[in-house]
Structure 1
Amino acid sequence: MASNKPAPAPETPFQSDFFGEEVAERAWEEWNPTEDSVRPVRGRHRVMKQRGGLARSSTVLGVGVIAAVGAGGMASAQDKPPVSISLPDLPDSIADKLPDAKSLPGVGSFMSDDSDAQSGNVNASPLTTMTLAADDGADADAETGVGGAGEALRARILQQAEQQQADADAEAKSAAEKAAAEKAAAEATQQQTAAEAKAEAAKRKAEEAAKAKAEEERLANLAKSFALPTSAYTITSTFGEAGSMWSSGYHTGLDFAAPTGTPVKAVHGGTVKSAGWSGSYGYRTVLELDDGTEVWYCHQSSMSVSAGQKVTTGETIGRVGATGNVTGPHLHLEVHTPGGSGIDPMAWLQGKGLTV
């Protein structure tokens, strides 16, 4: 418990209080107040009972609150341990002149009537704490408002970005599907074209095969009705060869070299147009076919038919010889069209299905 030592006595019998009034000098002695010895202050200056080490005096309470607020708030003061303060009672003349504690700024809320003090209904929340709580609530509200607007904007931007991405994906997918469809169509067209070309080629091939077969059949039938002019022969000169031994400057027929006396046959059925001597051709027989084609048999050693006679395919009409302008026994065969032009006898015979 703290004690107050008496101050040294002044030389004057009176001393002034802090209001400037002279009061009689009191003899000061050591005072140790207790709860029973402390006389409650009467009058209108009543304060709460001491709780947690706080002084009852309204003056001390007001000064303490003002000091705490000026120093930065009650929050920092709450962290410090309570300090016991003991002051002597003031005279009634001085106490009556003190200002009402409830009228002090920031102190009135701490004051109460006896009923409140007795019931313990005291608002013990520090001013600074309440202020901070209110400030925190306002900041939270402001932060919530700002944060909510920011989140809404952010969600909106993300939604737009997602929509744009979805549109881009849909467009890319559509383009890919379109490209795939076009590619499939192109491949189908190409396959169809290839199939058509293959079918056309197969058709042409089949047609050609059919035509070749028909031609083969025709030649086979012709071969049955045509025959080679002689047998056991050797081809010594062909149509169109150039040389001085021929009066025209080139060979006009096909030479079958064979021994003298080898039979000469009619290549096809027809009518003997002429049979006799013909200068450089020697003995010559001209056989006219039904289509007007003439076949000349030259250099024969003998003839067995006469003009106007009908002959059939393969019938003997003479013998191989060496008459006329020759160098050895052979059959000189010429073929003339109905107009009189000479043609290649080998090609003509092959065209009739004969192998020369």
Structure 2
Amino acid sequence: MASNKPAPEAPSPFVTDNFGDADRTWEEWNPTEESIRPVRGRHRVAKQRGLARSSTVLGVGVIAAVGAGGMATAQSKPPVSISLPDSLADNLPDAKSLPGVGAFMSDDADKTPVSAAPLTSAGITSAEAEQGTTDAGEALRARILQQAEQQQANADAEAKAAEEKAAAEKAAADAKKQQDEAEAKIAADKKKAEEAAKKKKEAERLAKLAASYALPTSSYSITSTYGQSGPMWSSGHHTGLDFAAPTGTPVKAVHSGTVKSAGYSGSYGYRTVLELDDGTEIWYCHQSTMNVTAGQKVSTGDTIGRVGATGNVTGAHLHLEVHTAGGSGIDPMSWLRSKGLTV
């Protein structure tokens, strides 16, 4: 690095030379590059007055860095003297002419530069300053911690809200499941109760029917059923229900009605036809005797004849047939059971 020595002071125009000629006038000395030999090598500045131009530029950079980052530490370090080449130093602007820097410059080393605030306070907000914060690094650290705490608090709040939502949804699902189960149980109980009531009602109906219907005879055994096939019947199958019983066993009216006919009828022997109010006909066949005549009204349980063996038979029994109002024969056992009777 190189630097020019200070130029020698110009002699006064009225200085006396060695020859004592006080009247001789000296011209102003204007040194040129040819008249002055530059000093080579390093040297130290004996005394700094204010801030060197190069140090001023560095200070501007430090101030800018501190203002941008809020981390000012340059104030605690001692100033450093920096020498620059003549070619660079001659092209630098005057430090005092820089905006905002002239206030820091002073020609008197004993004067204190004007400073609005310490560099370490750069980046501190007014609220932090009011709270007593003076260090920008600590202020930044406090902000980061505060932001981290706030983010953690937000995350915890979101997690808590999610847990509460999940718990609420689970509780709602459990409640709905319990409600569905309760409703299903109520429906099942209701259905069961309805079925029980229906069965009870049917039992009551059958009991009432049984009270108004009666079996055609007693002390019997079933020997032939409806539809049974065999050569003993001219149609090839049995058309009624046979109650085998001793001769003379009473034959009773199964329900109230009117005697439509009573007399001998070929292979049926002595036969009584009882017509009910709905048009159904009950045929009592193979009787030994008959106790009613045509047109006579009878009630349930009245004796209308006796068991016998008249007609085409192989033994004493009551042959019972049931015909609808239209004349079709039906199964007597099913019909009697539909009236609540046990055959």
TM-score norm. by structure 1 comes to 0.55
Residue by residue over 1:70-94, the C-alpha shift from the partner in whole angstroms, topping out at 9 and shown as x without a partner, is xxxxxxxxxxxxxxxxxxxxxxxxx
Q: Partner residue of 1:192?
A: 179
Residues of 2 paired with 1:173 and 1:205: CA distance?
Answer: 47
Check whether the contact 2:307–2:318 (CA below 8 A) recurs between aligned residues: yes
Deviates more, 1:255-264 or 1:182-191: 182-191
Task: Identify if the C-alpha distance between structure 1 residues 247 and 196 changes in structure 2 by more than 3 Å, giving closer, same or farther.
Answer: farther
Q: Partner residue of 1:261?
A: 248
Residue 223 of structure 2 aligns to a residue whose secondary structure is strand
Q: Partner residue of 2:260?
A: 273
Residue by residue over 1:295-341, the C-alpha shift from the partner in whole angstroms, topping out at 9 and shown as x without a partner, is 11122222221211111111111111223333322212122222222
2:337 partner letter: Q
Residues of 1 paired with 2:247 and 2:290: CA distance?
Answer: 13
Matched, 1:138 2:77: yes
How far did 1:154 drift?
4.0
Matched, 1:164 2:103: no
Residue 274 of structure 2 aligns to a residue whose secondary structure is strand
Equivalent residue runs for 1:193-342 within 5 Å: 193-342=180-329
1:264 partner letter: V
% identical equivalent positions: 76
Matched, 1:355 2:336: no
Equivalent residue runs for 1:166-185 within 5 Å: 166-185=153-172
Residue by residue over 1:19-51, the C-alpha shift from the partner in whole angstroms, topping out at 9 and shown as x without a partner, is xxxxxxxxxxxxxxxxxxxxxxxxxxxxxxxxx
- Where do 5+ consecutive residues of structure 1 fail to align? 1-104, 107-134
- Where do 5+ consecutive residues of structure 2 fail to align? 1-45, 48-73, 79-117, 124-133
Residue 287 of structure 2 aligns to a residue whose secondary structure is strand
Residue 274 of structure 1 aligns to a residue whose secondary structure is strand
Residues of 1 paired with 2:263 and 2:218: CA distance?
Answer: 23
Superposed CA RMSD in Å reads: 3.0
Choose the corresponding residue for 1:345, options 332, 339, 342. Answer: 332
How far did 1:152 drift?
4.1
Residues of 2 paired with 1:161 and 1:278: CA distance?
Answer: 115
1:228 partner letter: L
Residues of 1 paired with 2:234 and 2:152: CA distance?
Answer: 97
From the CA coordinates, give the structure whose radius of gyration is larger. Answer: 1
Residues of 1 paired with 2:163 and 2:236: CA distance?
Answer: 78
Residue by residue over 1:161-213, the C-alpha shift from the partner in whole angstroms, topping out at 9 and shown as x without a partner, is 33333323322322222222222222222222222232233233333333333
Residues of 1 paired with 2:312 and 2:156: CA distance?
Answer: 97
Task: Identify if the C-alpha distance between structure 1 residues 191 and 249 changes in structure 2 by more than 3 Å, giving closer, same or farther.
Answer: farther
Task: Identify if the C-alpha distance between structure 1 residues 150 and 201 changes in structure 2 by more than 3 Å, giving closer, same or farther.
Answer: same
Task: Identify if the C-alpha distance between structure 1 residues 338 and 174 changes in structure 2 by more than 3 Å, giving closer, same or farther.
Answer: farther
How far did 1:345 drift?
1.8
Residues of 1 paired with 2:148 and 2:231: CA distance?
Answer: 101
TM-score norm. by structure 2 comes to 0.57
Task: Identify if the C-alpha distance between structure 1 residues 171 and 209 changes in structure 2 by more than 3 Å, giving closer, same or farther.
Answer: same
For these two proteins, the number of residue pairs brought into alignment is 223
Deviates more, 1:278-287 or 1:254-263: 278-287
Q: Partner residue of 1:27?
A: none
Residues of 1 paired with 2:301 and 2:279: CA distance?
Answer: 19
Equivalent residue runs for 1:84-163 within 5 Å: 137-138=76-77, 148-163=135-150
Equivalent residue runs for 1:32-51 within 5 Å: none
How far did 1:261 drift?
1.8
Residue by residue over 1:217-272, the C-alpha shift from the partner in whole angstroms, topping out at 9 and shown as x without a partner, is 33222222211100001122223334443344433322211112211110111101
Residue 324 of structure 1 aligns to a residue whose secondary structure is coil
Q: Partner residue of 1:36?
A: none
